[in-house]
Amino acid sequence: MVRVLFVCLGNICRSPMAEAIFRDLVKKEQLVDSVQVDSCGTGDWHLGQSPHPGTKEILDQQGISYDGMESRLLTADDFNQFDYLVAMDQNNYNTLIGSNHHEGTAIVKLMEFVEDIEEDDIPDPYYTGDFGQTYRLVSDGCYGLLQFLKEKHHLN
């Protein structure tokens, strides 16, 4: 079982979008028994809330489920329970790397899995309002990440 945790700031926009998209891809690839997916935030402003209305709207447009998703905070246990902690931007990445809990856990940025793209970070639509751009970047990143995991872990 490969365990993936998407991480952003508040866990209401980018990381739940990534969780929903990745879960959808995993289901379509018939890998639900091989890949576990979750998301969390590094800040506690929105704990227990469902995804942002903008995230819900874009996922609804794409027919991607976000049922049962609630914002939660990154915990020390996450570093032991997940194989990959996937940051949405450099600040999230720095927070994860700065933790003394990350030995043995791969900490990566989602955009590392997208070829030929200028963006290193996924802009936070909570501030930009551009959920369409966020969806495109997250979707591309999730696709690339899944291809990487399939190859590295021999998932079929």
Domain locations along the chain: 2-152
C-alpha 92/C-alpha 43 separation (Å) is 10
Between residues 76 and 103, which one has the greater pLDDT? Answer: 76
Given 24, 38, 78, 124, the catalytic residue: 124
Q: Among this protein's residues, is 142 annotated catalytic?
A: no
pLDDT at res. 118: 86
Distance from chain centroid for Cα 145: 10
The two structure tokens encoding residue 137: 């970047």
pLDDT at res. 34: 97
Count of CB atoms situated within 10 Å of the CB of 93: 21
Q: Among this protein's residues, is 124 annotated catalytic?
A: yes
pTM, to two decimals = 0.96
Q: Among this protein's residues, is 8 annotated catalytic?
A: yes
**Superfamily of structural domain 2-152:** Response regulator (3.40.50.2300)
C-alpha R_g of the chain = 14
pLDDT at res. 80: 92
Given 13, 14, 38, 140, the catalytic residue: 14
Distance from chain centroid for Cα 26: 13
Q: pLDDT grade, residue 136 (50/70/90)?
A: very high
* pLDDT tens string 44-98: 999 999 999 999 999 999 999 999 999 999 999 999 999 999 999 999 999 999 9
Once rounded to an integer, what is the mean pLDDT over residues 112-133?
94
CA dist 133 to 23, 65, 110, 156, Å? 20, 19, 14, 30
